[in-house]
Structure 1
């Protein structure tokens, strides 16, 4: 009776090596399909429109210098309010509900923080450059468009 391949160390190592090499040789069409699937992972997210930016409020800009920048985004019944300061980004998802907030930078970096029962979230550092906020709760996903800049 012949010894099964998994009981023979030499044959087992050869089979494992072959499997390892096969895993390294991912067909280009698989890579392409994976990239497309990755891009569509957020297709269910509602895009919230920027409805207020304190940096564009002429009356407010004339009175304040270097303080918080207030941004308000709306999508259907959802609102994301954000205050960008010199050191933090504070936000609130309305109507209030718990979940997860993610701040994505144009560089590809992302930071995640919890959204509490009041809909509030805090990122410990202010974004520099272009960023967007993505809020996920049991009700769904709401994402802001890309916004440039920090506090004004």
Structure 2
């Protein structure tokens, strides 16, 4: 009986040693992965990312589109993926009229009148407020007002 207990204890000790080696190997793999991630993060953080320009609320489609585009490039450069953080970050670049607009929207959100939780929600709301309604009409009107003056050589 004592011999069978000793053999079971030896078998258990062998299994524990085997499992210990497996855990140590997994730990080494995890350490290597974390180390690689830290190195990549340190390299990425050394890149100077220019901050986007603010948006003042000028009702100009090009200005608003450029603001949103630059914000999206900024989010990519700093590896920002959280939707709520994108909204909070973008609001830091609102100036003049857009700051007043955001303060009203923020108060509405606190009262549960509206929700702006994602970047898409924010883009939709800011476009609804500041995007000119007649952009296509104005573009066609400006095209109709163009006049050909001078020779074709001047244009080519």
Q: Same fold (TM over 0.5)?
A: no
Structure ranking higher on relative contact order (CA contacts 8 Å, 6+ apart): 2
Q: Which has the larger radius of gyration?
A: 2
Q: Give the alignment's TM-score, normalised by structure 1.
A: 0.26
Structure holding more helix per residue: 2
Q: TM-score, normalised by structure 2?
A: 0.26
